[in-house]
Structure 1
Amino acid sequence: MTLYQRPDEHVFAEGARPGEVQPFPDLSRGWGIAFEQTGGIPPMEWFNFIGKRTDEAIRYLMQRGLPEWSDTEEYPEGSYIQHGGKTYRAKVANQGKVPSTGLAEWEEWGLTREALDAHFHPKDGELAWPKITKTPTTLDGYGITDAATAQDVQNRFSEIQQRFHPKNGPLPWAKISDKPSTLTGYGITDAAPIANPAFSGQPTAPTPSAQDRSTRIATTASTWATLLSLFTGPNRQSFQDNGFQKLPGGLILQWGFTSTHGNGMSNVIFPVKFSTKCLAIHGTHLGTGCATVIEYVGTRTNIGATLRTLDENAMTRAGWGLHWFAIGH
């Protein structure tokens, strides 16, 4: 089943200038009226009116959800409308029957909490708890026949205590008092506090994966794996002669080797494309003698640039080698 996308809130021709929207002369006749009034060519003002009328109807339904009742509309059985702040459903086909009084034609639908309370407690209002009487006094009275009583629990515990402490006899329940309020009182002397625990030795913990972004405790192993994953991998680095390194903050370093053509030009193609822009590129002449490597203006892009190498006499030649380095993000 196709689910259609909700349209936006714009209405066709709602910003039209005065006179650009004219009422359609006969909606029930349709476009046939154009042959009588405009030579078979309907004007723009009529099209604006029809488009505006259609969009306004859509906006009305999107705002209301359910249309308001109209005394001129024909409602088939099962229709839903709203009237006087309430919603109704048609019990039978009808027209002109007011929902709030036409009980044979309409039934109230989608009641609120207040309406339900008023319907089921119209006289007494809220439930009068003090008036509830004849409540059961035993579990059996509530239909619970298999519950353990306090005496059952005590007897069972006494049996267990007698089994493991036959000399001391059953535990004297009535004599239990002065319950410890600290771990030391229970004989626990080496527990770390929940707040600001001070561990000693070399405590260990389960190692989360490098991709874990939860609030679990990070171990040295998981921290190292996470940091390493930010700098390594086939999509983050390549240590070839023409290579790159992507840093966690988005900065990319790239380098490579190329040589000049006859006019001293060298076309540099980056190993990877800069996502946003290349910030700078620098070249170094490789060989004897003095030479200057410059960036040829207007050639830098996200995928490459053109460099030009000149000797001390501003001359160029083919075959000069040079290293280049670029930085960007």
Structure 2
Amino acid sequence: MTIYNRPRAEVFAENAPPSEIQPFQAWLRGLGIAFDETNGFPEMTGLNGLFNALNQYIKYLEQNGFAEWSADLEYPIGAGVRVGSVWYRAKTQNTNKPPATSQNDWELFLNASALSYGNPIYIENNVVKVRDASTAQKGVVQFANATEVANKSNVSKSVNPVNAATIAQSTDLGVGQTYQNLTSSRSLGLTYTNNTGKAIFVSIDVRGSSSGVDGIRANVAGAVVSELLNIAENHCAQISFIVPGGASYSVQQTQASINLTKWVELR
């Protein structure tokens, strides 16, 4: 198929004086009028008017992109028209169906008046672009991959459902964790820090070694979260608690007569 070059921008006969250009007098009959009035030779003024009108219509289409809707035309399915700054597409073959009030026959294609070139759309070097999205800005969003989700890197990216399991794997208590017996490396009265990056569960068994007011307190991030008092001699007791990621934790004894028998962490 031939690719046509852009025609001249000037309208045919647009500089002709009024004496040389007149509206074509028999628009619906065409050049056949010349046989009745000028022996088969069309007048120059009429031809100038004809070509000028056709050329103007081409320029009208070039300027508007979409032709304005007309009540006189029959539109096929898929035809595009403009009403003011709103573009419509025909859903049915129709005539004299105003697009704005004929939803069964027309669908909205584009509302140019609703477009904003401030946020998030902008123009750079004559190219329309969309800004990146942020917590305060609508725009283009890129999904994080599984590695970025697991490592909590690239926080400007979004997470899609495919990687939701990765989030659970990296943050949920009990997922990807195991119970570990840390009795040999833990002591009552010392403070530890949860550096695992997610919450852990701590369970401690103790035994009272004397009568009296013996007890233990669990502290997480400086707050007492659990407490057991009056642990009798040779009686066992258990205390358990959750430690958020990054928080410090300890188990303090109220008397020196409390013995640690087991310290287990789900981590």
In the superposition, the TM-score normalised over structure 2's length comes to 0.44
More strand by share: 2
| Larger relative contact order (CA 8 Å, sep ≥ 6) | 2
In the superposition, the TM-score normalised over structure 1's length comes to 0.36
